[in-house]
Structure 1
Amino acid sequence: MKKVILTTIAVLAFGFANAQQTRFGVKGGLNITNFSGDNDSNALIGFQVGGFAEIKVIERLSIQPELLFSAQGASFDAIGNNNDIDYRLNYINIPVLAKFYITKQFSVEGGPQLGFLVSAKRDGNDVKDAYKSTDLGFNFGAGYNFTDNFSVGIRYTVGLSNVRDYDTDNIDDYIDSPKNSVLALTAAYRF
């Protein structure tokens, strides 16, 4: 974990050293979230908001570290009850993406993400102790620049780690363990 944080700081420091090649921005949007590996869960609607730095490496390639607040989770059908049970997990996510521009307007991106659990609620009750404090994922997506400053994007985050706070020594248990799954539709503004 220390290596990821130090790498993020190094990337940001590189960006400040090359300020003429770095653009900062803000972004926000809609999350459609679920737990993969758990066939009984239903999607929840959440949001994400935060900032980013786009650091130009070469003509068509940039590194884009981000700092995002992300509302995630899943919903489950309650047995014998008409109401669903909602699990709402809030994270501070730090994705570091490689962003490749296919054209000046259209880009594709991918990269790892580290998430820190801020809160976890089951129908409004605190259940943070039942979830792991960190989450690992991998992002891939695409974006379109309408202008030099305004863009939209779509991104899917594949959860790589079990979100529940229990050990899974058996490979079958790990595969079936709940992992975050997030489809994000965002708008961004670069300064």
Structure 2
Amino acid sequence: MKKLIFAVMALVTITTTQAQGLDLGIKAGVNFATLTDASGLDNRTGFVAGAFVGGKLGDKFGIQADLLYSQQGAEFELGSFDLDYVNVPIVAKIYLTDNLNLQAGPQFGVLVNDDTQTVIGEVINDIGTNDFDISGVVGVGVDIPLGLRLEGRYNFGLTDVPEENGADFNKSKNSVFTLSVGYSFL
């Protein structure tokens, strides 16, 4: 997995060196996460932080890759799904104006922390989770003066979060709304 992330980041870096308007910076924000197809779950609010590299490939098209630490999961009455990932979203950016863009692409995630305990009576169940997550990403971004970047994204999971066939969480996938602010050094 580390080799895949390195290869993707290298490809994006090579591509963006040929691009006009190279973008390299840091970003941070807030996640509003839950799991789909499971009843009785509430959002887990967490943070997201990391770095990005990207660039424009003409006036109307760009590409961006991020390396992000992301707190995801869900909360419910009997416990919680605290899932922390290192995510690598790679998005194509279509510029509607010089500053406003639409974003879409895949995201690859590696689970780095899972606290998935449920309490049933006095018994604690630890629910197994998949170590890898693939999601789709759609969003909108605004480049504002002084190198600031504002983004709103929705990540919809394509892989099941539980490793095993749990009764209530069998086909649950990540569902995350993210609001972030970034700063471009270039």
- What range describes the TM-score normalised by the shorter chain of this pair? 0.7 to 0.9
Instruction: Say which of 82, 85, 89 aligns to 1:91.
Output: 85
Hey, what's the Cα distance between the residues in 1 that align with 2:96 and 2:160? Answer: 34
- Following superposition, the deviation at residue 90 of structure 1 comes to 0.5
Aligned equivalent of 2:121:
none
Hey, what's the Cα distance between the residues in 2 that align with 1:44 and 1:109? Answer: 24
Percent identity between the aligned chains? Answer: 29
Aligned equivalent of 2:99:
105
Aligned equivalent of 1:48:
48
Aligned equivalent of 2:65:
65
Aligned equivalent of 1:75:
75
RMSD over equivalenced CA pairs, Å: 2.7
Aligned residue identity for 1:190 = S
SS for the counterpart of 2:7 is: helix
Q: Which runs of 5+ in 2 are unaligned?
A: 119-123
Aligned equivalent of 1:32:
32
TM-score by length of 2: 0.85
**Cα 1:151/1:8, change in 2 over 3 Å:** closer
Hey, what's the Cα distance between the residues in 2 that align with 1:27 and 1:61? Answer: 21
Aligned residue identity for 2:174 = N
- Following superposition, the deviation at residue 152 of structure 1 comes to 1.1
Shifted more, 91-100 versus 147-156: the winner is 147-156
**Cα 1:3/1:68, change in 2 over 3 Å:** closer
**Cα 1:10/1:59, change in 2 over 3 Å:** same
- Following superposition, the deviation at residue 13 of structure 1 comes to 2.4
Aligned residue identity for 1:57 = L
Shifted more, 43-52 versus 2-11: the winner is 2-11
Aligned residue identity for 1:12 = T
Aligned equivalent of 1:12:
13
Structure 1 runs (4+) greater than 3 angstroms displaced: 1-8, 122-127
Higher helix share: 1
Aligned equivalent of 2:152:
154
String of CA shifts for 1:84-134, please: whole Å, max 9, x gaps.
Answer: x2211100000000011101121110100000000101369995x711110
Aligned equivalent of 1:117:
111
Hey, what's the Cα distance between the residues in 1 that align with 2:19 and 2:92? Answer: 18
Q: Is the 8 A contact 2:12 2:54 kept in 1?
A: no
- Following superposition, the deviation at residue 167 of structure 1 comes to 6.4
Q: Is the 8 A contact 1:120 1:126 kept in 2?
A: no
